[in-house]
């Protein structure tokens, strides 16, 4: 296993209108549950497990998932990703997704929680063929500290690279380093404590869908601050600043509903975990 704390490999393909696993492999502190088919669409949902309960000093995780043509999958975490104190080396999580033409992957993660003195680096690489679709969401929040202060973690860094037909199309880099940044200032958290992101890459991500999303979530409130943008490629990026996980989850759930209705004329599955 070299120096990886946990490894996960998952390859899936479409067979007779149903997506099934062609290859599943995991080792160390990384596992995946048997697929759950929430409806008759043939789209499975896989829950990723971390038996260790969280990321510790120097932990390194690697995940690779590939979908063949016309395969559809929901991939989600079982619970929040907890980053504990890392005094020597940051915890590191490397993910690579490969999507063939006509495939669809939604990667819906639970909150990423950085506790006091935590350092975490995440790199996600998505390799898509034209005609495939990728939906991703995450939430970043600060964990408990003895003093009760916010932003007690040292570093939370998330890098995302998306390639379409081997050409870099999207590069997204979030780096929160409270010790060297005025984390509450303009351009960072702007007085909020939680950051949510949602990204859709696919041919359906156009101005019309952007307008539908805006209409579904627009609300004159100070409870959160939200921005929606079209990407240079056929894609939409949504950022949400708020003071609670529940607020961001509510908005992301509504966006997921609108996207599912647009893509498949259906509602997304309820990913109950408690």
pLDDT tens, residue by residue, 89-100: 999 999 999 999
In a domain, 112, yes or no: yes
In a domain, 272, yes or no: no
Contact present, 75 and 21 (Cβ < 8 Å): no
**SS3 state at 134:** strand
In a domain, 205, yes or no: no
What residue numbers bound the domain in which 121 lies? 6-194
What is the mean predicted confidence (pLDDT) over 171-186?
Answer: 90
Q: Please state the φ and ψ torsions of residue 51, each to the nearest 5 degrees.
A: -60, -20
Considering only CA atoms, which of 226, 239, 169, 232 is closest in space to residue 199? Answer: 239
Please give the share of the chain, as a percent, with pLDDT higher than 70.
Answer: 98
Query: Does the pLDDT of residue 208 top 60, yes or no?
Result: yes
pLDDT band at 265 (very low <50, low <70, confident <90, very high): confident
In a domain, 123, yes or no: yes
**Exposed e or buried b per residue across 249-259, where buried means at least 16 C-beta atoms within 10 angstroms of its C-beta:** bbbbeebbebb
pLDDT band at 1 (very low <50, low <70, confident <90, very high): very low
What is the mean predicted confidence (pLDDT) over 241-257?
Answer: 95
In a domain, 104, yes or no: yes
- Determine which of 132-141, 191-200, 265-274 has the lowest per-residue pLDDT on average: 265-274
Q: How many domains does the chain have?
A: 1
In a domain, 93, yes or no: yes
In a domain, 249, yes or no: no
What is the mean predicted confidence (pLDDT) over 25-45?
Answer: 92
Radius of gyration of the chain (CA): 18
In a domain, 23, yes or no: yes
Query: Does the pLDDT of residue 248 top 90, yes or no?
Result: yes
What is the mean predicted confidence (pLDDT) over 232-252?
Answer: 95
Which DSSP category does 55 fall into? B
């Amino acid at each position: 296993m070299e120096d990886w704390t946990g490894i996960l490999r998952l390859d899936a393909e479409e067979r007779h209108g149903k997506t099934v696993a062609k290859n599943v492999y995991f080792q160390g502190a990384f596992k995946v549950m048997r697929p759950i088919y929430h409806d008759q669409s043939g789209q499975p949902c896989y829950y990723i497990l971390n038996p260790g309960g969280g990321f510790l000093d120097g932990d390194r995780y690697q995940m690779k998932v590939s979908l063949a043509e016309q395969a559809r999958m929901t991939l989600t975490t079982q619970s929040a990703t907890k980053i504990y104190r890392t005094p020597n080396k940051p915890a590191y999580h490397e993910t690579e997704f490969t999507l063939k033409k006509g495939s669809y992957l939604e990667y819906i993660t639970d909150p990423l929680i950085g506790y006091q003195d935590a350092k975490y680096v995440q790199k996600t690489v998505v390799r898509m063929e034209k005609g495939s679709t990728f939906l991703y969401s995450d939430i970043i929040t600060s964990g408990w500290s003895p003093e009760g202060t916010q932003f007690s973690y040292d570093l939370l860094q998330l890098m995302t690279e998306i390639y379409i037909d081997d050409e870099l199309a999207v590069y997204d880099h979030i780096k929160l380093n409270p010790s060297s940044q005025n984390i509450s200032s303009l351009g960072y958290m702007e007085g909020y404590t939680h950051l949510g992101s949602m990204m859709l890459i696919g041919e359906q991500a156009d101005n019309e869908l952007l307008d539908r999303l805006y209409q579904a979530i627009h609300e004159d409130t100070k409870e959160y601050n939200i921005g929606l943008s079209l990407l240079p490629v056929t894609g939409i990026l949504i950022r949400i600043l708020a003071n609670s996980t529940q607020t961001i989850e509510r908005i992301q759930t509504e966006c997921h509903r609108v996207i599912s209705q647009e893509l498949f004329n259906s509602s997304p599955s309820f990913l109950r975990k408690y």
